[in-house]
Amino acid sequence: MVNKFKEPIYITRPLLPDLGIIQENLKEVWESKWLTNNGPRHKKLEKDLKTYLGLEHLILFNNGTLALILGIKSLNLTGEVITTPFTFPATVEALDWNNLTPIFCDLDPKTLNLDASKIENLITEKTSAILAVHVFGNPCDVHRIQKIADKYKLKVIYDAAHAFGTKIDGIPIGKFGDLTMFSFHATKLFHTVEGGALAVNNLEMESKLNLLKNFGIRGPETVLMSGLNAKMNEVQAVIGIEVLKIIDQERSNREQILSIYRENLSKIPGIKIVNNHSGENSLQYLVITIDENIYGKSRDWVHERLKRYNVFTRKYFNPLCSNFPWYKSLDSSKPENLPIANKIIDQVLSLPFYGELSLESVEIICGLLKVFYSEND
């Protein structure tokens, strides 16, 4: 049996540019004395990201959650929004901060995204939008969602926190819907330590969101709307500019790691990789499902057992948002209305997945999962 790893192995580690380069850049920022409020680094990062992501209208924020909250606010929604229960709390919290009620839709068992075929049943006269998440970087069924939205005149918002760089048939993920949010948190493939962005379709929305993230002010003596402070600062932008330069290498390292996971895990009965990870996926997370009936051990058992070897996996996204105490009484939260979500939540496990992870470590982790399968209790 393998020994415990000397150092803890987490699901991710931040992509860190050379510290010397960051220091050089920070020296220039210090000398300029321009630290925030749409400074030159902010402008450069916005431009670099537009090019990298193939988007025309992109607005930077100090984190993904505030980007989503303000994105939703910019659409003047009311009443109910159809969304997924299988996401990080930030998605539904953004609805809460806009006084909107989430209506939870069950999942497509293949992608773990909201099942577009179940949306129409949930639409009422109060529905104003669909908020879908490209969970683990797997794209939603954007064409079907848009068709429904057009039919019922609903807005479409995408939470693409995990989908930096995801494309659908070559089209950048940020081109779909009315707006798309990206998270640039330290745990993300591309990051600015904390940060985020919104992709929108037109200049009018871009201008509105630039106002909303800066208190709604235009110039020192004009306040046009009620906004917030959600601006990205120059230090964040410096990190982002440098991280963007090394992201393609990170992606290629992750491709190699993925191929080892794929090769090994495909031989273990009861384990499946959730993400399709085609060439167009963001390579953000490596998530498996464990079917206890076939594998012989539960997801929770594996999660606990791996800790003995210093491997710390995560059960993203347990609990379901529909099981938060303040949403439990909603009709759409009832487990019988969300059978796939309630089943999957006991099976998902995020495994370590980041470029710095050695290929040998990946082999060892896969080896452990094989041994667990064949072990008798």
* Site residues, ligand T4K (CB under 6 A): 10-14, 63-65, 87-88, 90-91, 133, 159, 161-162, 183, 185-187, 196, 312, 316
Nearer to ligand T4K among residue 10 and residue 52 (C-beta): 10
In the three-class reduction of DSSP (H, G, I as helix; E, B as strand; rest coil), residue 374 is classed as helix
Nearer to ligand T4K among residue 40 and residue 89 (C-beta): 89
Find the shortest distance in angstroms from Cβ 94 to ligand T4K: 8
Handedness of CA 65, 69, 72, 75 (dihedral sign): negative
Residue type, 254: R
Using left for φ > 0, alpha for ψ between -120 and 50, and beta otherwise, residue 299 falls in alpha
Find the shortest distance in angstroms from Cβ 72 to ligand T4K: 12
Nearer to ligand T4K among residue 182 and residue 261 (C-beta): 182
Radius of gyration of the chain (CA): 21
Find the shortest distance in angstroms from Cβ 219 to ligand T4K: 29
Residue 68 neighbours by CB under 8 Å, 6+ apart: 90, 91, 94, 157, 159, 181, 196, 198
In the three-class reduction of DSSP (H, G, I as helix; E, B as strand; rest coil), residue 168 is classed as strand
Question: CA–CA separation, 148 vs 355, rounded Å?
Answer: 39
Nearest to 101 by CA among 121, 72, 74: 72
Query: Which strands sit side by side in the sheet containing 179-183, from one edge to the other?
Result: 57-61, 196-200, 179-183, 155-159, 127-133, 80-83, 101-104
Tell me which residue has tokens 């990170």.
250
Nearer to ligand T4K among residue 285 and residue 295 (C-beta): 285
CB 298 within 8 A of CB 290: yes
Nearer to ligand T4K among residue 296 and residue 310 (C-beta): 310
Find the shortest distance in angstroms from Cβ 245 to ligand T4K: 20
Find the shortest distance in angstroms from Cβ 62 to ligand T4K: 9
Beta partners for residue 252, in sequence order: none
CB 74 within 8 A of CB 208: yes
Structure-token pair, residue 75: 């659409």
Find the shortest distance in angstroms from Cβ 135 to ligand T4K: 7
Nearer to ligand T4K among residue 66 and residue 268 (C-beta): 66
Residue type, 365: I
Find the shortest distance in angstroms from Cβ 199 to ligand T4K: 15
Question: CA–CA separation, 283 vs 136, rounded Å?
Answer: 8
Question: CA–CA separation, 140 vs 50, rounded Å?
Answer: 22
Nearer to ligand T4K among residue 200 and residue 268 (C-beta): 200
Find the shortest distance in angstroms from Cβ 285 to ligand T4K: 8
Query: What residue is closest to ligand T4K based on CB?
Result: 64
Nearer to ligand T4K among residue 64 and residue 174 (C-beta): 64
Structure-token pair, residue 283: 């390579």
Nearer to ligand T4K among residue 85 and residue 295 (C-beta): 85
Find the shortest distance in angstroms from Cβ 310 to ligand T4K: 12
At 131, give phi and psi (nearest 5°).
-115, 105
